[in-house]
Copies of this chain bind each other. A is one copy, B any other.
Amino acid sequence: MAALVQRYLDGILAEHAPVTDGDLASYIPELSRVDPAGFGLSLSSSDGYVYESGDAGVQFTMQSISKPFTYALALDQLGLADVDARIGVEPSGEGFNKISVDQVTNVPKNPMINAGAIVACSLIPGKTVDDRFELVREFYSACAGSRLDFDEDVYRSERASGSRNRGIAYLLDSFGALGSDPDDALDVYTRQCSLKVTSTDLARMAATLARGGLNPLSGRQVTDAMVVRRTLSVMVTCGMYDAAGEWVSSVGMPAKSGVGGGIIAVLPGQLGIGVYSPRIDVKGNSVRGMLVCRSLSQQLGLHFLTVSSDAHAAIRGVYNPRFGVRVYEVHGDLLFAGAEQVTRTVTRDCAELDTAILDVSRLHAISEPARALLAGLADGLQSLGKRSLLVDPGGAVISDPSAYEGLVFPTVEEALAATQAWTG
């Protein structure tokens, strides 16, 4: 029963509901006025199904949870090299309100601290602040699958009270670290912090990251897998402030928290998680949000170094439709390790075969190294005097079948028919 998963989540929420440690953020009145008891949890599967528990519909401002997304957008727009020249990727070992700028290069240590986030904002292209913020909001909304609301009151209040961030922005400007005017960069940053989400929005945004940039609901590839991998890498080492080792050891999910009470966590390839509970600890992390992440990881075995599907899963089925002919059904997301296993299996079998048919019609995705391996396998068999046919209706392995006349087919049946014709 799907209700079982629901019960797990409800149970974890109930377990931590009595905890009242921590305090509402108090630096602006808007954050101190929310209901401190609010507690929501949402979990999205990698195909976009969402479980909700507690106050999963309550809106709150993203605050620092915006940081990985604007970093991703900057990577998306400028590329790795340009962003790397401006923002580091090392843990800062310092609290969230420290500057953490490299003493030699004056580059912020990473994009998860305010200094790095303000630099990221300064890199987002656009003629005006409005243009640039609209790009940010559209990117976030594409990750969430719906347009995010903006909290005008929080924005105004943070803009008025933001001596700390203004100080950081001016210092960055003095280092030549910004890509734009300091006030403009700060304005984009303050606005993105004031975008509103629910824990379900966060779970959906996390699922988009879990899927390598593909929003599983809308089917839109919001950004590419390389950008997401880099963003998740930085969340691993720098996401939870000054205890990277402890978080990786005990939770093992790239994550980011915000003083609004939200936490986003990603289990790559598998799940997206959003939690909301507005009482925060002195480091600015939601107290119950962190407890929930720990419980989820421990009780549900969510840790990105937990060994998942072993490479054998790449071959879904093998059958011999005729003597000397063997069909290999390859499926799922094919990476190097899976393609290696396919290649090795077929190569090992080929002594007893005339014809190998590689059916890749069920492939969900394939990495470039895996593609090269499978293409090479076909060529290799050919050179050994074996016939090697590919069932590749979507062009996953061979994008231009015209160069492989008679070797690539849309269905197994057509491939088999072709082999029959030969052996007649």
Residues in A lying within 8 Å of B, measured CB to CB: 1-5, 8, 45-47, 49, 88-91, 93, 95, 97-99, 103, 110, 162-164, 166-175, 182, 210-212, 225, 228-230, 232-234, 236-238, 243-246, 248-249, 252, 254, 267-271, 299-314, 316-317, 331-333, 335-338, 340-341, 343-344, 347-348, 364-365, 367-370, 372-373, 376-377, 380-381
Q: Which secondary structure dominates where chain A touches chain B? A: helix
A30 vs chain B, min Cβ distance (A): 18
Chain B minimum-CB-distance residue to A210: B307
CB < 8 Å: which of B163, B249, B302 contacts A230?
B249
A113 vs chain B, min Cβ distance (A): 12
CB < 8 Å: which of B2, B234, B309, B368 contacts A344?
B2
Separation of A271 and B234 alpha carbons in the complex (Å): 23
Separation of A8 and B175 alpha carbons in the complex (Å): 43
CB < 8 Å: which of B164, B172, B271, B313 contacts A337?
B271
Residues of B within 8 A of A381 (CB): 1
A186 vs chain B, min Cβ distance (A): 10
Report yes or no: B301 in contact with A367, Cβ–Cβ below 8 A.
yes
Chain B minimum-CB-distance residue to A296: B336
Task: Tell me whether A245 and B110 are in contact in the complex, defined as CB-CB below 8 angstroms, given that A4-B377, A305-B254, A337-B271 are known contacts.
Answer: yes
Report yes or no: A88 in contact with B245, Cβ–Cβ below 8 A.
yes
Q: A90-B244, A212-B306 are in contact. List 20 more A-B contacts (CB 8 A).
A: A1-B377, A1-B380, A4-B343, A4-B372, A45-B341, A46-B337, A47-B310, A91-B244, A162-B174, A163-B171, A228-B307, A229-B252, A233-B248, A233-B305, A236-B305, A237-B248, A301-B368, A306-B367, A308-B333, A317-B317
Task: Tell me whether A90 and B243 are in contact in the complex, defined as CB-CB below 8 angstroms, given that A2-B343, A2-B344 are known contacts.
Answer: yes
Report yes or no: A309 in contact with B309, Cβ–Cβ below 8 A.
yes
Report yes or no: B91 in contact with A301, Cβ–Cβ below 8 A.
no
Task: Tell me whether A301 and B167 are in contact in the complex, defined as CB-CB below 8 angstroms, given that A268-B307, A316-B316, A380-B3 are known contacts.
Answer: no
Report yes or no: A1 in contact with B245, Cβ–Cβ below 8 A.
no
Residues of B within 8 A of A314 (CB): 309
CB < 8 Å: which of B230, B236, B311, B373 contacts A236?
B236
Separation of A156 and B365 alpha carbons in the complex (Å): 54
Task: Tell me whether A376 and B305 are in contact in the complex, defined as CB-CB below 8 angstroms, given that A171-B164, A244-B91 are known contacts.
Answer: no
A381 vs chain B, min Cβ distance (A): 7
Separation of A116 and B300 alpha carbons in the complex (Å): 31
Residues of B within 8 A of A210 (CB): 307
Task: Show 7 A/B contacts (Cβ-Cβ < 8 Å), sorted by A.
Answer: A1-B343, A3-B347, A89-B246, A230-B249, A236-B248, A254-B305, A270-B336
